[in-house]
Amino acid sequence: MTLQQTLAVPAGWPGSLPEYLVYTALIQLGKQPGLDFVYQSPLMGGRLERGGLVIHFLFINPPDLAINVQGEYFHQQQGSTAIARDKMARAQLAGQGITLIFIDAGDVTADPVRYVRDALNYIDHSFLGRG
């Protein structure tokens, strides 16, 4: 049984299960919503900051970090278009002094705290981080 099979998104959560797992892992690691980071759901707009980009987690502390969850289904279905969009987002944020770390949905459902801790340390295990 996987973590994804044992967890469900609570009623009222505006995003996906992997995004919720990142959110709760951030809290477990001592980060506070609104003080250390802001969550933006792509399902609820999610394009409010940073030039129209969809950024799931934009950090206040540290101010040079952002995290996005990459859904495997999304990338498998849209392939090079989604990858190019993610690379452009990373480059656009880098131009603003922000490092965008991607966390693959499968990784975060397997071990949320490990992958979020690594992301907070600017370690990117995602497909884009390897390439």
Each residue's pLDDT, cut to its tens digit, for the chain (131 residues) gives 344 446 788 988 888 899 999 999 999 999 999 999 999 866 544 444 445 677 899 999 999 999 999 876 554 555 677 777 888 889 989 998 999 999 999 999 999 999 999 999 999 998 776 65
CA 116-117-123 angle, to 5 degrees, is: 85
By three-state DSSP, how is residue 33 classified?
strand
- CATH number of the domain at 14-130, please? 3.40.960.10
- In angstroms, the CA 6 to CA 92 distance is 37
Tell me the C-alpha distance between 129 and 100, whole Å: 10
| pTM, two decimal places | 0.84
Half-sphere exposure of 59 (CA within 13 A, CB side): 23
Domain ranges for the chain: 14-130
Give 42's DSSP letter: G
End-to-end CA distance of the chain: 30
Q: Smallest Cα–Cα separation from 75: which of 46, 52, 104?
A: 104
